Amino acid sequence: MTTETLPTSEVFTSAVTLTPAEPVHFDLAFTAVTQPCPWPKAYGGDLVAQAAAAAMRSVTDGKTLHSMHSYFLRPADIGAEVRYEVEVLRDGRGYSTRQVRGYQNGKPLYVCLANFAAGEPGGTFRAEFTEVVPAPEDLPGSAVYLAGRSGGSMTEESKVYWSGGRGFDMRHVPGPVYLTVEGDQVPHQAVWLRPFDALRPVEGLTDAQRDLAALAYVCDYTILEPVLRVLGLPWARPGLVTASLDHAMWFHRPGPVDDWLLYVQEAVAADAGRGLGSGRFFTRDHRHLATVAQEGVIRPA
């Protein structure tokens, strides 16, 4: 791999770099561009992270994003502008609420509610993940795993994307589900992930806000994989169709994302062409940063 093609986290920071615009429907507006990917439509994490960035830029009194609840209404075009309109629903002493709608081609394609908290003294509890998993340094990255492999619907373009085009190094336990379901067909997995290089500053966001947007961005790549794993469906299965339907995320406490994070995931349900996955982000010293739940279409050929 040459210097020019080294994987970089800039794909994420480019995605969440917003341009202010004149609002048409609500109180504030921003535009952002979806990032390249080898599928027919844009990556859903672009929309979640861009909406999170838009909502955070509308809150100027120091409150911190603590939850998002989203619906994906239509697929987004790749490499195209999405307009995010922010409605200021409430600004209270302790909490603030925003609605964000994403528009493309004149139609709404994404909507979310985002809530912000000032924070206050209270009791502390954090979930623990006690299972012993291999260290990320002992696991192959996607590029190493995919080197020399082929099969199913995987193209050279998708192989390059899985290997280094997503901005984050990802290392699976028990193993990836790219070409086959590596390991047992169980309803759980874990993914170590880390940006390929140090995250760059993002205009309009503090570093702490950028890190929250990073979690919102990267969570969608693998959240349905435990459902695929338990159903025995690798990503490269010919004819497989997946699509995000709705998404919820809770941010419990701050933490840097430039080091390895363990994303612990499980399948919650699968039926009627839909699957629900849940996940938790932990730092290497076991701090529980965030929790995710997402439902998506899972349609085998």
- Token representation of residue 100: 């964000």
- In total, the chain counts a number of residues equal to 301
User: What is the model's pLDDT at position 128?
Assistant: 83
User: What is the model's pLDDT at position 2?
Assistant: 38
Contact 11, 166 (CB under 8 A): yes
Q: How far apart are CA 251 and CA 240, in angstroms?
A: 32
User: What is the model's pLDDT at position 79?
Assistant: 96
Residue written as tokens 């612990």? Answer: 264
Q: How far apart are CA 153 and CA 155, in angstroms?
A: 6
User: What is the model's pLDDT at position 131?
Assistant: 86
User: What is the model's pLDDT at position 130?
Assistant: 82
User: What is the model's pLDDT at position 123?
Assistant: 87
For 191, phi then psi, to 5°, come to -135, 120
Residues 6+ positions from 279 with CB-CB distance below 8 Å? 219, 222, 223, 263, 264, 265, 266, 291, 292, 293
Residue 201 DSSP code? P
Mean pLDDT (10-residue bins), the chain, 301 residues: 70 98 97 95 97 98 98 97 98 98 97 97 86 95 94 94 96 96 93 97 97 98 98 96 97 94 98 98 95 97 80
Reduced to 3 states, what is the DSSP secondary structure of residue 63? coil
Residue written as tokens 């050929």? Answer: 301
For 299, phi then psi, to 5°, come to -125, 95
